[in-house]
Amino acid sequence: MAALGDEGGRRAQIDGLRVLAMVGVLYVHYWNERPTLEFVRVSLFFVVSGFLISHILLSSKDSLSKISIINFYIRRSLRLLPSLFLVLLIAVLFNMDGIRSSVKWHVLQGSNLYFMNTEGWKPWIVAHLWSLNVVEQFYILSPIIIMFFSRRSIFLIYAGVFALSIVLRVHCVDLGISPWAKIVLFVFDPLAAGAILALVKENRDVQAVLTSRLSNLVSIAIIFSPFVVGHNFGQSESYRILSIYALSSVVLSAYVGYGGVVALVLANPVARFLSRVSYSTYIYHMAIWWLIAENWPTLYHKGPITFFAMSTSTIIVATLSWHLVEKHFDALKVFFPVAKTLHNPAGDTVSDRPRNLPVKSQTASPKDGSISYARSGW
């Protein structure tokens, strides 16, 4: 393990993990909708998201700066909403898969609740937004929890969220709750795990255990175990819990800094570029699929050709979106610092402003709405 001396280096490898999650999204939607490692792909996004947002907030809390929760929400909105609202506007203009009747749910970041209530994935062009909404709902409460509670209390709260998510997921049917809640609502455990990881990331004992060669080998064995044990194990609750440990080990190892080939894979120039456009790639990819495949229907058939053609098209559009739209909103974040500079009693200027960390079936044609997007979020 090669320790990294600066936050930017740490971020590069963690951003590389987000790129892996993004590629997983494109693979599932464009090529293979029932991959063996589906839970790992979604949980990776959640663990990384929980870790990064909690790291930002904890860094602000630990500084001698004045913290603005309102500015935190504004900064998140400036990063997440422009491309989302743009794609929803285009979807409404074309009424993609009848989206007009449910657009208010998606505008209000309640897609996951809408799909739970309707127990279906229509309109399919926004089916992937459920996981983004879960993260955004986590973001709403995170600043309040972290800013107003002690570290011990924060740990206990997130441990409670972790345990409660699992209990509700296992017993939701017994409690008379829609089984869809298991898919799109009671999934906060990996986010809570990421938040807990951010709390303990500097603890030497935790680092020694989770970033050790043994832990990484065990984590790899856990992640790929469904290929040996069987596909059904990969869908089990036991695997979900074990994979959260494995992904926590991977994320903390990336934070400390992998060396060698792993560092090259996670932090090479291509990965850095894809990280910059990963969010908009995720946001746009289903709508772009509709726009293109409505004119070339053969692209509705999943496989390598659809995967490479649609992935390339989506990344091109996402790159244009970044340069023409998103980066201009992102630049406005400078006016809304989460942590503001203060002066200590000795008269020394103290500024510990957090660095800018941009964020987060059955075989069938998606046109008929029967395709399963269970667990297929970003």
Do the domain assignments include residue 378? no
**Which SS3 state, helix, strand or coil, does residue 123 take?**
coil
Domain count, the chain: 1
Per-residue tens of pLDDT for the chain, all 378 residues: 544 434 454 589 999 999 999 999 999 999 998 889 989 999 999 999 999 999 999 998 888 677 899 999 999 999 999 999 999 999 999 999 999 999 999 999 999 999 999 999 999 999 999 999 999 999 999 999 999 999 999 999 999 999 999 999 999 989 999 999 999 999 999 999 999 999 999 999 999 999 999 999 999 999 999 999 998 999 999 999 999 999 999 999 999 999 999 999 999 999 999 999 999 999 999 999 999 999 999 999 999 999 999 999 999 999 999 999 999 999 999 999 988 765 554 444 434 444 444 433 333 445 554 443 334 444
Do the domain assignments include residue 13? yes
Do the domain assignments include residue 374? no
Do the domain assignments include residue 96? yes
The neighbouring-strand residues paired with 28 are none
CB 79 within 8 A of CB 358: yes
**Which SS3 state, helix, strand or coil, does residue 66 take?**
strand
- Nearest 5 degrees, angle CA 238-CA 244-CA 249? 135
Do the domain assignments include residue 328? yes
* pTM given for the model: 0.88
The residue type at 230: G
CB 251 within 8 A of CB 245: no
Segment holding 254, helix H or strand E: helix 237-256
Among candidate residues 308, 199, 233, 275, the one with its CA nearest the CA of residue 45: 275
Token digits for 302? 């999943």
**Cα 319 vs. chain centroid, distance in angstroms?**
19
Domain of 91, in residue numbers = 7-368
Q: How many Å apart are CA 128 and CA 283, to the nearest integer? A: 8
Do the domain assignments include residue 65? yes
Do the domain assignments include residue 376? no
Do the domain assignments include residue 279? yes
